[in-house]
C-alpha cells in the first residue's frame, strides 16, 4: 500500500485541524478529529479502506482514551497519533498481511501509533513556540489599540505554525512511511525477539491509557469497585459496551438519588434549626 501525494496532503490538512492547539478549535479539532477512533474513520476514507481505518483507530483509542492535558502539558500528540500513526499502521498491516481485526493486528497498530504519538510531542511544543511570535505581534496590536488585528493573531496566523509543525511533517512521514515499514520488515523478522517485544508492548500499552483514567476516578480502594464491576459485566457476563453503559447509568441514577437525599436532609435540618431561632 502506497500513500499518494494527494492523500498525504489531505492527511496533513487534518493534522493541522486536529492537533492540540489545533485550527479546528478544541471541540471539533482536538476532541473530535484528534481522537484516534475518528482519525481512523477519516484516514480510512482518505486511504480507501474504512474498515481497517476504524479498526486501527479503535485499537489506538484505548491507549489514548483519557488524554488529559493538564495545564498544557502533553504526553502524546493527537495529530501524530491520528494522522501519522494510523496511516503508517495501515501501511504496515497491509505490508505484513495482517488483518486489523486480529489481536496481532491491533497490537502492531498500537505499538506503531504510540511510538509516533510520543515522538510527536515535539510537534506540540514546536507549534506552541512558533505561536509566541504571533502573540508578540498581538501585544503590539493591543498597545496600538488595533484590536481588530487580534482576530488575525488568534485565528489566522497560527495556520503558519501548523504549516511548519503539522502539515509538512505529516506529508513527509506519510510519504516516507511505506519505505520505512519495508525496511523494518526486511531487517527485523517477525519471530525475532525485537518484533515479538513490539507486539507484546502493543498489547500492554492500553493498560496505561486505562490507568491514566483510573487515576482521575480512583482515590481510595473502594473506588475500584465500579471499575471491576464493569470489567465483570463485559469479561465474565459477556455484556456488550452499549448495554453495559445502560446498566452503569442505572447505578449512576441510584447513586445520585442517594446523594441528593442526604443533601436535602441537611437542608431540611438547617431550616428547622432556623425556625427554632
Q: 32-91: which residues touch other proteins (CB under 8 A)?
A: 32, 35, 37-38, 40-41, 44, 50-52, 54-55, 57-59, 61-62, 65-72, 75
* 5-18 helix and 168-187 helix, angle to the nearest 10 degrees: 120
Among 134, 175, 176, 184, binds other proteins (CB under 8 A): 134
Between 148 and 275, name the residue whose CB sits nearer to other proteins: 148
172 or 228: CB nearest other proteins: 228
Site for other proteins in 158-177 (CB under 8 A): 158
Q: Residues 6 or more apart from 132 whose CB is under 8 A from it?
A: none
In whole angstroms, the minimum distance from the beta carbon of 150 to other proteins comes to 5
Measured CA to CA in angstroms, residue 180 lies from 12, 100, 160, 197, 269 at distances of 19, 20, 28, 19, 70
> Residue 183 or 232: which CB sits closer to other proteins?
232
Angle in degrees, CA 212, 81, 121, rounded to 5: 75
CB 181 within 8 A of CB 188: no
* Closer by beta carbon to other proteins, 187 or else 236: 236
Q: Please say which residue, 4 or 197, places its beta carbon nearer to other proteins.
A: 197
| Sole binder of other proteins in the list 128, 175, 176, 184 (CB under 8 A) | 128
> Shortest approach of other proteins to residue 172 CB, angstroms?
24
Q: Minimum distance from CB of 5 to other proteins (Å)?
A: 25
Binding other proteins (rule: CB under 8 A), the pick from 1, 9, 94, 118 is 118
Residues in the interface with other proteins (CB under 8 A) total: 121
Name the residue nearer to other proteins (CB basis): 5 or 182: 182
Q: Residue 235 Cβ, how far from other proteins at the closest point, in Å?
A: 4
Residue closer to other proteins, measured from CB, 121 or 176? 121
5, 140, 142, 188: residue in contact with other proteins (rule CB under 8 A):
142
Positions in 192-251 near other proteins (CB under 8 A)? 193, 195-197, 199-201, 203-208, 210-218, 223-236, 239-242, 244-245, 247-249, 251
Amino acid at each position: 500500500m502506497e500513500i499518494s501525494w494527494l492523500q498525504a496532503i489531505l492527511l496533513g490538512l487534518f493534522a493541522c485541524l486536529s492537533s492540540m492547539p489545533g485550527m479546528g478549535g478544541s471541540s471539533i479539532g482536538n476532541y473530535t478529529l484528534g481522537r484516534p477512533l475518528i482519525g481512523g474513520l477519516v484516514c480510512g476514507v482518505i486511504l480507501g479502506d474504512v474498515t481497517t481505518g476504524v479498526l486501527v483507530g479503535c485499537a489506538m483509542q484505548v491507549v489514548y482514551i483519557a488524554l488529559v492535558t493538564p495545564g498544557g502539558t502533553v504526553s502524546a500528540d493527537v495529530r501524530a497519533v491520528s494522522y501519522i500513526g494510523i496511516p503508517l499502521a495501515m501501511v504496515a498491516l497491509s505490508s505484513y498481511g495482517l488483518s486489523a481485526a486480529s489481536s496481532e493486528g491491533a497490537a502492531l497498530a498500537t505499538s506503531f501509533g504510540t511510538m509516533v504519538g510520543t515522538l510527536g510531542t515535539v510537534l506540540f511544543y514546536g507549534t506552541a513556540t512558533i505561536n509566541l511570535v504571533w502573540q508578540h505581534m498581538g501585544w503590539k496590536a493591543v498597545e496600538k489599540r488595533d484590536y481588530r488585528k487580534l482576530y488575525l493573531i488568534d485565528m489566522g496566523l497560527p495556520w503558519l505554525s501548523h504549516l511548519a509543525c503539522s502539515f509538512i511533517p505529516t506529508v513527509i512521514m506519510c510519504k516516507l512511511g511505506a519505505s520505512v515499514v519495508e525496511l523494518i520488515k526486511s531487517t527485523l523478522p517477525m519471530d525475532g525477539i525485537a518484533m515479538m517485544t513490539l507486539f507484546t508492548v502493543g498489547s500492554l500499552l492500553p493498560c496505561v491509557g486505562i490507568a491514566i483514567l483510573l487515576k482521575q476516578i480512583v482515590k481510595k480502594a473502594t473506588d475500584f469497585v465500579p471499575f471491576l464491576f464493569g470489567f465483570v459485566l463485559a469479561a465474565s457476563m459477556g455484556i456488550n459496551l452499549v448495554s453495559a453503559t445502560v446498566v452503569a447509568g442505572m447505578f449512576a441514577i441510584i447513586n445520585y438519588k442517594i446523594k441528593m437525599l442526604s443533601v436535602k436532609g441537611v437542608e431540611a435540618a438547617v431550616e428547622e434549626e432556623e425556625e427554632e431561632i
